[in-house]
Structure 1
Amino acid sequence: MGGTAGPARACAPHVPAWRPLRGWSQSQLQSACQRLDTVQAAWSLAWGLSAPAGGCTARAAGAADLHLATWVALTTSDGEVRAWMGDTMLGADLRRILWGDVPAGPLAAALGGQCAADLQSRLASLLGLIVAPSPSRGPTVDDVAPWSGAVLVEQALAPRRQLLLLSAEAIDPLIPRVAPQRSEPAALVGLDEALRNRRLALQVRLAGCTVDLGALAGLRIDDVVRLDHGLQQPATVTDGQGRPCFAAHLARRGDRKAIVLAPLASVPKEFP
């Protein structure tokens, strides 16, 4: 029983038919890290903490990074998820940094939590996002697909590192915009003006002559040899590679020999 052909459809309907490919150079990622380091330095100063020496690093995110932390979403004001923060033991770590090994009490725990929340709020503000209320959507494989532009950022925070998973839309505002270099085309000038200051080695060639061996053996200095070149026949001016450039007539200018250039077409075809 024969079938009829139906409309073609993608083998994987969940994959969008078109998606822009996004990627960042190392210098662009370093510029983004500098912006993040500036925010972290201001936060450290506000809380009396020493600035970490390691700074932050950034690289293209992948599927393996999804399991590095429990993620807290950062969203736009419309609720669109654009980035995630790793929900590690940041509050507990900060409490120990602020209070040392003193047994944790309600005040110390609350202060550590406020310190961590302030860092998250500052980072979210830099990205133009807000911390989403729990529960929130975590990152998926599609969010970190190759050439999605997603970036994993690690910020040094002793004894751990703060993780940020940024979509292309989230990190884009941190990437500096460099205007493309446009060079104005040079104005066109005439050939004579363009070559005016250039020195070219030219040769003037006359038609040769034929001398038999007997006559050649008898030649002496000051002998006159007749050339096969008519008095009104132009010579050929060639460049250093022997390519014809102009026709020319022999002339004199003051006490110096000279040539008067003419179009190459005036040289007979049989002339070399």
Structure 2
Amino acid sequence: MIVAGELFDMMQRRLSTAQTDVAEAARPLRWWSAAQLDVLALRAQTLFDQWRGDWGLPVGQGEAGHCVKAVPAHPDAVQVDRQWMALFAGDGASGTWWTVRPEAHRRVHTRLGPKGDEPSALDVAGAAIQTALFGVDANPAGQSDPLVASGAGHDAVKDWCLRLRHWLGAVDDGEVSSPTEPLHAPLSLPTDLTQFWSGAVLLRLDWYGDTFQLVIDCTHVMRLIGPCAATTDGAATERRSEALLTPVLSALSAEPLSMTAELNPIELDLGTLTGLRVGDVIRIPHALEMPLLVRADDGELLYQAFLGRLEDQKAIELFPLTQTS
């Protein structure tokens, strides 16, 4: 027979266990505003442009500065069933994974094993870079793989992975082959990364016809966007995100400025000046072959120029200042 005291103790233990279970199941809700995602995309774009320039990769018209998009890593945005690779070797908890969705390079030549394994994300990524660099098909019908071009494509991808690791805070300069080892089991992202309110972000990059995808967990995102970060952890409240910095020249590009085109000064004696009438023609001491002087509002000499005509209006053609100006 259970007495009242024992019943009370048992209820207390069950309540304590339930509270512990709830506490362990609770997780902070993390999210990012559109402005914060833009900050992350801009910083990733800078890294991507630097890598692309160092490897001499072509930039299509309208592509410069517009290749990277950042969105929350929700299940409807992330292809969880694809083969993903951990960016940091041997650490499934690193919170950073990448893959390449083949669009233009669906058929990739690989040395298939006896089971005909699916090409890895590294093969797909390297094939796109190989084609962009050399115009060499990564899957030539009936031909062997072009080793030099293929090797350069893979090296470029490995270098990109290394730069991503350093961007995310890695300090090692070790071999970059480690982050390119495929994730064998399971062939999908950790489920906690793609939960709503996880704070993880998906970066999508135009990868020369394909799409490079990088999933970054909340910890890395917070460090990358710095003071722009805001989450619902604890008593934290949303802080005003920093405005994106604009180059001074871009900010002032629409500011109107005035310039003055000057002839040589006219000198008249007082008698001639008092006798001037409308219709009189005055000879100016400025030879036709001599340039005009173009000055800013404050009088600073900017250019020399020659008079001309543009459609139905007068115009000037600018030239740099000479030593005798």
TM bucket (normalised to shorter chain) is 0.5 to 0.7
2:205 aligns to what? 155
Of residues 166, 170, 184, the one that matches 1:125 is 166
Give 1:85 shift: 0.9
2:134 aligns to what? 99
Residues 74 and 83 in structure 1, CA contact (< 8 A), matched pair in contact too: yes
State how far apart, in whole Å, the 1-side matches of 2:191 and 2:81 are: 14
Residues 75 and 132 in structure 1, CA contact (< 8 A), matched pair in contact too: yes
2:70 aligns to what? 58
2:88 aligns to what? 75
State how far apart, in whole Å, the 1-side matches of 2:180 and 2:207 are: 24
State how far apart, in whole Å, the 2-side matches of 1:161 and 1:68 are: 15
1:15-94 aligned within 5 A: 16-51=24-59, 53=63, 54-64=66-76, 65-67=78-80, 69-75=82-88, 80-87=93-100, 88=121, 89-94=124-129
Partner-residue secondary structure (3-state), 1:156: strand
State how far apart, in whole Å, the 2-side matches of 1:108 and 1:76 are: 26
1:134 aligns to what? 181
Of residues 6, 14, 19, the one that matches 1:7 is 14
- Structure 2 length-normalised TM: 0.48
Q: 1:140 to 1:16 in 2, by over 3 A?
A: farther
1:120-269 aligned within 5 A: 120-129=161-170, 132=179, 134=181, 136=183, 138-177=188-227
Which letter maps to 2:40?
A: A
Q: CA RMSD in A?
A: 3.4
For this pair of structures, how many residues does the alignment match? 181
Give 1:18 shift: 3.0
Q: 1:100 to 1:121 in 2, by over 3 A?
A: same
Residues 41 and 68 in structure 2, CA contact (< 8 A), matched pair in contact too: yes
State how far apart, in whole Å, the 1-side matches of 2:133 and 2:189 are: 32
1:104-119 aligned within 5 A: 104-119=145-160
Identity %: 27
State how far apart, in whole Å, the 2-side matches of 1:154 and 1:57 are: 5
- Structure 1 length-normalised TM: 0.57
Tell me which of the two structures has the higher relative contact order, counting C-alpha pairs closer than 8 angstroms and 6 or more residues apart.
2
Greater alpha carbon shift after TM alignment, 164-173 vs 69-78: 69-78
Give 1:12 shift: 12
